[in-house]
Amino acid sequence: MFVSRFSSTDRCKRKPALTDAQQLMYSQEKSVNFRLVSRMVARYAPTRLGEGDLAPKEVQDYLAEIGEFAQLAQLTSSIDFIFSHIPTLCEPGFPLEGYTALPYARVARVFVGKTAAFPGILAFRFSKLNGTRRQQKQIVLAFSGTTNAHQALLNLWAVHHPHASQRGTVHRGFWALYEGIRASALDAIRAALSMEEAITRTPTGRNTISEVVVTGHSMGAAVAQLLVLDLLRDDSDMQSLIGGIPLRFVGFGGPRVGDAALRALWCELVVARRARYGEDAFGEYAIKMYNDGVPALPPLAFGYRHLVQSAYYAENDKLYRVPPELGEYSRFRTLCHDATVPVLHPRGGHMYYNGRDAEGMVRRLGWFKEALKDEPGVRAAYLTKVEQDAAKAASC
């Protein structure tokens, strides 16, 4: 007789009652959240994630801040608008409420690849101290997720293609996107590092850049990994420019990118960089979300593997560190959640990373743009729309 390694008393109730606002939120979904893919393709890990696996709050906060740039990369046509209204947009009740990184950021470059109009951005993020800006900076390069049909088709082009290193194979569609945007992305980083080197070196010669972060959501996370792989293996001017500045990869809901040989190359290069510059010279974060099927694609049976060894799993407003040996799993049993305690997004899904409803944010941003037509009563017009939406929830 088959006996599950999880007893019936070990299972958690996963479907708390939805609030009126949550019912409305889910009824308004237009984007695909890959929940069905998760149930059909993703495998449960053989062991539960528990109290000892919880990520520190500072890690969760850091990833949420970087996630703001991954979202921004999908809104390239609205970047000027967003930053011209950033103080208002970050107020309570407005589309960017709770966004703490963007108010202290400046987008230095927006670029579009030659394949499928695939966009990316490069931004400087200034750290805040006592309400003022200090010189220390992050350089954040973010790639967009899927935004058009051509890009969606490339997502499906899961044919193995030789990687430029000749050390394994890569997803053909992701490689096509990367080839189309690689030069622009490297030029953006090169220009940013050169400018910072010329402008903000201290009298002692120490560069004030705190780190270089490459990030993306979904397809953007896949392309971001290919760029980081090049930065790790590149022995040209990029290596001399970056030097020992900490390099970070942060991916949200990213699919598998290459085969086991390419993963071995990634691990080898990470070890080499840390041996040369120190353990902090490289950091990697691959975040998966409850009920998001994208990290389970392409399936293991197709010969694909995740490159990143440091994975995280988000569920019920908690973030867990995934043991390296469980990195290929995309579904986990976690700490039992008290059903009487509300969570923000109980159904999980591809568009709900970092405690944010990405689709809802874009919708509210559209309301804000519409409300601007009613100047000087923009706040009243926008908040009226929010109240009308809340009234819909109450009537559900």
Mean predicted confidence (pLDDT) in 172-183: 98
C-alpha triplet 277, 120, 230: angle, nearest 5°? 35
The answer to whether residue 86 sits within a structural domain is yes
Say what the pLDDT of residue 198 is.
Answer: 43
Say what the pLDDT of residue 207 is.
Answer: 53
Mean predicted confidence (pLDDT) in 327-331: 97
CATH number of the structural domain spanning residue 54: 3.40.50.1820
Q: Which DSSP string corresponds to 243-257?
A: TTS-EEEEEES----
- Given a cut of 90, is residue 144 above it in pLDDT? yes
| pTM, entire model | 0.91
**How many structural domains is the chain composed of?**
1
* All residues at 6 or more sequence positions from 286 whose CB lies less than 8 Å from its CB, including other chains: 221, 249, 251, 254, 295, 306, 308, 310, 311, 312, 327
Mean pLDDT of the chain: 90
Say what the pLDDT of residue 240 is.
Answer: 79
Enclosing domain of residue 234:
8-16+33-370
Tell me the percentage of the chain whose pLDDT exceeds 90.
Answer: 76
The answer to whether residue 2 sits within a structural domain is no
The answer to whether residue 390 sits within a structural domain is no
Task: Give the containing element (helix H, strand E) for 221.
Answer: helix 219-233
Instruction: With cut-offs at 50, 70 and 90, classify the pLDDT of residue 274.
Output: very high
The answer to whether residue 379 sits within a structural domain is no
Say what the pLDDT of residue 9 is.
Answer: 42
Per-residue DSSP letter, 44: B
- Residue 148 or 396, more confident: 148
pLDDT tens-digit series, residues 12-26: 655 668 999 999 999
The answer to whether residue 146 sits within a structural domain is yes
The answer to whether residue 364 sits within a structural domain is yes
- Residue 384 or 257, more confident: 257
Residue 244 neighbours by CB distance under 10 Å: 12
The answer to whether residue 380 sits within a structural domain is no
- Given a cut of 60, is residue 197 above it in pLDDT? no
The answer to whether residue 382 sits within a structural domain is no
